[in-house]
């Protein structure tokens, strides 16, 4: 069953219909609250938008005026972040520092830039210290930006599914477990894995055609190492939209916050259904795992969906050899280094502050009153993330996408906003601070790490 929910108003262009340049306004209401929902026949109490898991899917087009009223029915502050969208990080817009108190509401208003790339984005809460609980409790939804050029590739003819990957740690009574200090340190994971609200769903693909699967890793901490049993996973897009050329991979790692856009072929299903696997992957050093009791060791391969052949539309589409124009960013004006660390620090403020496990960037835990990185609008910079810790950290930057610098020193032809920095490794990305001034953040997207300090502020000024 397809659980897509379209709550935006005013437009019905979904498939072959022509996407118009001039667009109607979208008006959306999201109520964040704890609700009982049914997952795979079981009653569970999760955090939801509008009582749905995942939250409603928002369909947006470049140039569109968007209004999102967020009503906070949670017993604690919340807010919204539009992960990956190129929007002003200004007060009340894409404002990770805003807090909407319980029982109150906020109206987010923005115009998606007219040249905004098409792609798979998502929204989720972003209150420092509560992000892992809220996102890990279920608060997440997809934002699909559609633009005209995908029509030239005839991608609009290809049936698609948006697959939001979530995991939940539940008690026997169906309520969310409280993570232990150790869970938070490693990054909580839950045994219940849902794929757009379903457990091991059937994903139909026309036996004579193809389907487009867009994956969003909306887990607090769980990584996915995605693979199909009978065919390569053909990646056509990543975080910030389509990539330059399709890339067939045996398996693809998807860290929290990351997205991939893929094409699955029905031809491989001639002999029967295929399996979508989450292959085992270890995101901490073995020693670390041992120290921590080893419960987060590679858990073995698991099936997370079945790919089922069906009769139906989709025949005749051939994979283009060229997808999007991703022009490399020009050389950077400066290089900054961000050293990721684990240690202890003072968490909390004043009387309530205590010595606790902390995660740091350049030796400091997050403080919203401090500006960590000051940049000028329009400049290009290289940022190098240096991971000397024993855990992988997927690093995310708000507001502007980046290009990862490849091993040959040039930027790879793909727009990313979250990049995996494996334990003991360093990764360099190139970004340009375009269009918007304001105060943004960058952080580890293992949300327990973000909550425990692995976040910094980025001030973009004229
Ligand atoms: Cu997906 Cu700062 O977050
Ligand atoms: Cu983000
Ligand atoms: Cu981390």
Report if residue 47 sits inside a domain.
yes
Report if residue 101 sits inside a domain.
yes
Q: Is 201 helix (H, G, I), strand (E, B) or coil?
A: coil
**Same structural domain for residues 179 and 246?**
yes
- The domain of 418 spans 334-461
Q: What is the pLDDT of residue 346?
A: 60
**Same structural domain for residues 16 and 138?**
yes
Task: Locate the ligand 1 atom nearest the alpha carbon of residue 135 and give its number.
Answer: 1
Contacts with 291 (C-beta within 8 Å, 6 or more apart), sequence order: none
Average pLDDT over residues 263-292: 83
**Same structural domain for residues 163 and 21?**
no
Average pLDDT over residues 76-81: 98
Ligand 1 close to Cβ of residue 443 (< 6 A): yes
306-333 as b/e: b if 16+ CB within 10 A: ebbbbeeebeebeeeeebbebeebeebe
Q: 20 falls in which pLDDT band (50, 70, 90)?
A: very low
Residue 63 has pLDDT above 80, yes or no: yes
389 CA → ligand 1 middle, Å:
21
| More confident call, 35 vs 1 | 35
If you take atom 1 of ligand 1, which residue's CA is the nearest one? 83
Instruction: Please report which ligand is nearest the Cα atom of 127.
Output: 1
Q: Which of residues 146, 163, 185 is at a domain's end?
A: 146
Closest to 167 (Cα-Cα) out of 53, 5, 34: 53
Report if residue 68 sits inside a domain.
yes
Ligand 1 close to Cβ of residue 83 (< 6 A): yes
Among 19-33, 53-67, 361-375, the range scoring the smallest mean pLDDT is: 19-33
Distance CA 360, CA 444 (A): 10
**Same structural domain for residues 302 and 228?**
yes
Report if residue 321 sits inside a domain.
no
**Same structural domain for residues 159 and 141?**
no
Predicted model pTM: 0.92
Ligand 1 close to Cβ of residue 449 (< 6 A): no
**Same structural domain for residues 344 and 281?**
no
Report if residue 69 sits inside a domain.
yes
**Same structural domain for residues 359 and 296?**
no
CATH code for position 204: 2.60.40.420
Distance CA 117, CA 160 (A): 18
How far, CA to CA in Å, does 85 sit from each of 101, 309, 398, 411? 24, 34, 8, 21
Task: Locate the ligand 1 atom nearest the alpha carbon of residue 126 and give its number.
Answer: 2
Report if residue 322 sits inside a domain.
no
Ligand 1 close to Cβ of residue 128 (< 6 A): no
**Same structural domain for residues 303 and 349?**
no
Report if residue 193 sits inside a domain.
yes
Ligand 1 close to Cβ of residue 396 (< 6 A): yes
Q: Which of residues 146, 178, 211 is at a domain's end?
A: 146
> 124-163: per-residue pLDDT in tens?
999 999 999 999 999 999 999 998 888 788 888 899 999 9
Phi and psi based region of residue 156 (left: phi greater than 0; alpha: psi -120 to 50; beta: remaining): alpha
**Same structural domain for residues 260 and 352?**
no
Task: Locate the ligand 1 atom nearest the alpha carbon of residue 418 and give its number.
Answer: 1
Report if residue 327 sits inside a domain.
no
If you take atom 3 of ligand 1, which residue's CA is the nearest one? 83
Q: 12 falls in which pLDDT band (50, 70, 90)?
A: very low
Task: Locate the ligand 1 atom nearest the alpha carbon of residue 84 and give its number.
Answer: 1
**Same structural domain for residues 206 and 272?**
yes
Look at the chain and report how many structural domains it folds into: 3
Instruction: Please report which ligand is nearest the Cα atom of 124.
Output: 1
Strands 58-60 and 141-145: parallel
Residue 170 has pLDDT above 70, yes or no: yes
Tokens representing 142? 């997809």
Ligand 1 close to Cβ of residue 85 (< 6 A): no
Q: Which of residues 278, 310, 342 is at a domain's end?
A: 310
Q: 199 falls in which pLDDT band (50, 70, 90)?
A: very high
Q: What is the pLDDT of residue 10?
A: 30
Position of tokens 């079945």? 306
- Are 57 and 4 within 8 A, CB to CB? yes
């Amino acid at each position: 069953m397809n659980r897509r929910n379209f709550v935006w108003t005013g437009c019905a262009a979904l498939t072959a219909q022509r996407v118009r340049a001039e667009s109607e306004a979208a008006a959306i209401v999201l109520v964040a609250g704890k609700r009982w929902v049914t997952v795979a026949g079981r009653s569970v109490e999760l955090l939801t938008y509008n009582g749905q898991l995942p939250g409603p899917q928002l369909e947006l087009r470049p140039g569109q005026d968007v209004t999102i009223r967020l009503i906070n029915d949670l017993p604690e502050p919340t807010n919204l972040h539009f992960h990956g969208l190129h929007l002003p990080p200004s007060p009340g817009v894409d404002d990770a520092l805003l807090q909407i108190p319980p029982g109150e509401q906020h109206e987010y208003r923005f115009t998606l830039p007219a040249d905004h790339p098409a792609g798979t984005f998502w929204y989720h809460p972003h209150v420092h210290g509560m992000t892992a609980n809220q996102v890990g409790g279920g608060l997440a939804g997809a934002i699909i930006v559609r633009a005209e050029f995908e029509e030239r590739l005839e991608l609009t003819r290809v049936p698609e599914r948006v697959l939001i990957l979530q995991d939940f740690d539940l008690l026997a009574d169906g309520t969310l477990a409280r993570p232990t200090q150790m869970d938070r340190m490693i990054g909580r994971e839950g045994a219940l894995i849902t794929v757009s609200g379903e457990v091991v769903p059937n994903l139909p693909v026309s036996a004579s055609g193809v389907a487009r699967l867009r994956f969003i890793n909306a887990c607090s901490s769980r990584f996915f190492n995605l693979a199909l049993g009978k065919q390569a996973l053909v990646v056509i897009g990543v975080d910030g939209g389509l990539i330059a050329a399709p890339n067939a991979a045996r398996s693809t790692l998807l860290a929290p916050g990351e997205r991939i856009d893929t094409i699955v072929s029905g031809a491989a299903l001639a002999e029967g259904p295929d399996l979508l696997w989450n292959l085992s992957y270890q995101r901490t050093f073995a020693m670390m795992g041992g120290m921590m009791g080893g419960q987060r060791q590679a858990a073995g391969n698991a099936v997370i969906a079945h790919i089922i052949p069906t009769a139906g539309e989709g025949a005749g589409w051939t994979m283009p050899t060229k997808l999007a124009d991703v022009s490399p960013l020009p050389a950077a004006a400066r290089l900054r280094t961000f050293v990721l660390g684990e240690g202890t620090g003072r968490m909390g403020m004043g009387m309530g502050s205590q010595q606790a496990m902390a995660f740091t960037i350049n030796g400091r835990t997050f403080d919203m009153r401090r500006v960590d990185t000051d940049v000028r609008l329009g400049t290009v910079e290289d940022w190098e993330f240096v991971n000397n810790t024993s855990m992988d950290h997927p690093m995310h930057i708000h507001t502007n996408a980046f290009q990862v610098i490849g091993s040959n020193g040039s930027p790879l032809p793909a727009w990313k906003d979250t990049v995996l920095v494996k334990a003991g490794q360093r990764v360099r990305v190139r970004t340009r601070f375009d269009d918007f001034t304001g105060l943004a953040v960058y952080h580890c997207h293992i949300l327990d790490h973000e909550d425990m300090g692995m976040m910094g502020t980025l001030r973009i000024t004229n």
